[in-house]
Amino acid sequence: MSLVDYSLDGAVAVITLNRPPVNALSAELRDELMEAAERASDHAVRAVVVTGSPHFAAGADIKAFKAAMDAGEGPDPQNRVGRYARAIELLEKPVIAAVRGYALGGGLELAMACDLRFMADDAKVGQPEILLGILPGAGGTQRLARIVGFQKALELCLSGRHLDAHEAHAIGLADLVVPGDELLDTTLARAHEFAAGPTRAYAAVKHAVRGGFGLPLEDALTVEREAFNGVFSTDDAKEGVAAFVDKRQADFQGR
């Protein structure tokens, strides 16, 4: 049985974690996530949804941690920690996490690697690794600080506490909170809006925001200028400008 289901809804790829009961992130599941990310890199895919049910992902496979410790091994002898989240993050198109139930530890790290996080009102998220005597190892300390700020990230990583969806929204960790039975439809609708948009410009926005964040202003402005110059002559840019001048709806083709 596949641990990650991959399907297409028009130009939207839907990546669904499928390791009941809580989608614990085993090494095999992480490998399949990377394979799904590779499939979603296809030009015909113009937006991506990452989800899981009834839980997004309740974290790493702790039994695998214990087995590695008992064997005297490091936490990830094949150096796969974090690569699954990075593969999702590097997709050059909008990626939305549709989060229901638990998104804890590596599950939250995966959600934070997405561009947007839409949460069901029953979602519970957090970085509880500290309660095991360890810390986030797939980007949690770094992405969380960039999303919610230094002090709040420090508090959450030190306490390991769970946040409900509404608190997550209040601190900027969730972009939208909706009833659970509306989550997937709402997320897919937004993904289809992105899929009809200027894909290369979306990729440039992601590069500019992430690449310039934390740099001195002059260096960050260089990153932005290079991204701007890179899309100025694209077919979508020409179409967008022409549509504005002609007072019509732009027909972007993602090129």
Length of the chain: 255
The answer to whether residues 26 and 79 belong to one domain is yes
Q: Which residues does 48 contact at the CB level (< 8 Å), separation at least 6?
A: 12, 13, 14, 15, 40, 88, 91, 93, 94, 95, 96, 191
Determine the structural domain holding residue 94 and report its residue range.
4-195
Instruction: Report yes or no on 239 lying in a domain.
Output: yes
pLDDT at 76: 62
CA distance 174 to 145: 14
Position 252 scores a pLDDT of 93
* Predicted model pTM: 0.92
Same domain? 63 vs 156 = yes
Q: Which residues are catalytic?
A: 109, 129
pLDDT value at residue 36: 97
- Is residue 189 domain-shared with residue 227, that is, in the same domain? no
Residues 181 and 207 in one domain: no
46 and 121: one domain? yes
Is there a single domain that holds both residue 174 and residue 92? Answer: yes
**Residue 219: which CATH number?**
1.10.12
| 23, 115: one domain | yes
In the block, tokens 């992601």 appear at 206
Q: Is residue 100 located within the same domain as residue 152?
A: yes
Output the DSSP codes for 113-151. HSSEEEEETT-EEE-GGGGGT----SSHHHHHHHHH-HH
Residues 115 and 214 in one domain: no
Q: Within a domain: residue 169?
A: yes
> Would 255 be classed as within a structural domain?
no
Q: Is 144 part of any domain?
A: yes
Mark whether 123 and 189 lie in a shared domain.
yes
- Is residue 125 assigned to a domain? yes
Residue 205 and residue 162 share a domain: no
| Rounded CA separation 128/245 (Å) | 52
Question: The CATH number of the domain where 18 resides is what?
Answer: 3.90.226.10
In a shared domain, residues 154 and 127? yes
Which of 178, 195, 212 terminates a domain? The answer is 195
Instruction: Note down pLDDT in tens along the chain; length 255 residues.
Output: 799 999 999 999 999 999 999 999 999 999 999 999 999 999 999 999 999 999 999 987 777 777 667 676 666 654 566 899 999 999 999 999 999 999 999 999 999 999 999 999 999 999 999 999 999 989 999 999 999 999 999 999 999 999 999 999 999 999 999 999 999 999 999 999 999 999 999 999 999 999 999 999 999 999 999 999 999 999 999 999 999 999 999 999 989
Based on the structure, what is the number of domains in the chain? Answer: 2
CA distance 184 to 212: 32
